[in-house]
Structure 1
Amino acid sequence: MKSRLIIFLLLVVTTSSYAQKVFSVDSQWQADVKVFVVESEWQADLTVYKVDSQWQSNGNEGRWFFTDSQWQADKKVYFVDSQWQADLKIFFVDSQWKAKWREKEKIHLMY
Structure 2
Amino acid sequence: MRTLITILIICSAFLIIPVSVSAQKVFSCDHSYEADVKVFVAKYTYEADLLVYRVKYSYEAGQNDGKWFFCKYNYEADKTIYFCDYSYEADLIICFVDNSYEAKWREKSMQYLMY
Deviation at 1:19, TM superposition (A): 2.2
| Residues 41-91 of structure 1: CA deviation (Å, up to 9, x unaligned) | 000000000000011112000000000000000000000000000000000
| Unaligned 5+ runs, structure 2 | 1-20
The Cα RMSD (Å) is 0.9
Contact 1:60 1:110 in 2 (8 A): yes
1:23 equivalenced with 2:44 (yes/no) = no
For normalisation by structure 1, the TM-score amounts to 0.83
Structure 2 match to 1:78: 82
Deviation at 1:92, TM superposition (A): 0.1
Give, in whole Å, the separation in 2 of the partners of 1:83 and 1:101. 17
The 3-state SS of whatever aligns with 1:94 is: coil
Structure 1 match to 2:40: 36
Matched AA of 1:74? D
User: Which has more radius of gyration?
Assistant: 2
Matched AA of 1:92? F
Give, in whole Å, the separation in 2 of the partners of 1:55 and 1:18. 13
Q: Name the % identity.
A: 49
Structure 1 match to 2:109: 105
Structure 2 match to 1:14: none
Q: Which runs of 4+ in 1 moved over 6 A?
A: none
Structure 2 match to 1:64: 68
Aligned length: 95
